[in-house]
Amino acid sequence: MIKNNFIQRDFSREFIFTYSRSSGPGGQNINKVNTRVELRFNVPDSTLLTENEKSLILSKLKSSLTVKGELIISSQTERSQLRNKEETIRKFNFLIREALKPLNIRKPTKPTRLSKMKNREKKILHSLKKQLRRKPDY
């Protein structure tokens, strides 16, 4: 349900892109062309997200957000500014989709009788191994 709703939204009008020169080796292309792309998305100010979605994103992605609640994603792997821009948008979609996924609730289970017996046998064997390593009592 969330996935279909998420795909229909167009977040591009809320993106702020900044461009700069990439770091690292690359010769003249890196020295002359602003190929590094940085995408900024302000989560609290978004008009496309509901309050519930905003709180989910803010809690799950809090280590990736700035103090103001901005999500910053950058890419400099490609030689083309356009491909780096597409890469940042792809990363953004993946992060938001993962943050909005509902958590699977763990169903607690009890160990079976057979597994309890196997664990007990392992413990006995381990204990015997340790006993054999001891110095003999005279």
pLDDT of residue 39: 93
Q: 49 in a domain, yes or no?
A: yes
Average pLDDT, the chain: 87
Q: 31 in a domain, yes or no?
A: yes
Q: 86 in a domain, yes or no?
A: yes
Reported as a single tens digit per residue, the pLDDT across 77-127 is: 888 889 999 999 999 999 999 998 888 898 999 999 999 999 999 999 999
pTM over 0.75: no
Query: Which domain, by its residues, includes 21?
Result: 2-100
Q: 39 in a domain, yes or no?
A: yes
**d(C-alpha 58, C-alpha 53), whole Å:** 8
pLDDT of residue 17: 92
Q: How far apart are the first and last CA of the chain?
A: 74
Instruction: Write the CATH number for 61.
Output: 3.30.160.20
CB atoms within 10 A of CB 10: 8
Number of domains in the chain: 1
Q: 25 in a domain, yes or no?
A: yes
Q: 115 in a domain, yes or no?
A: no
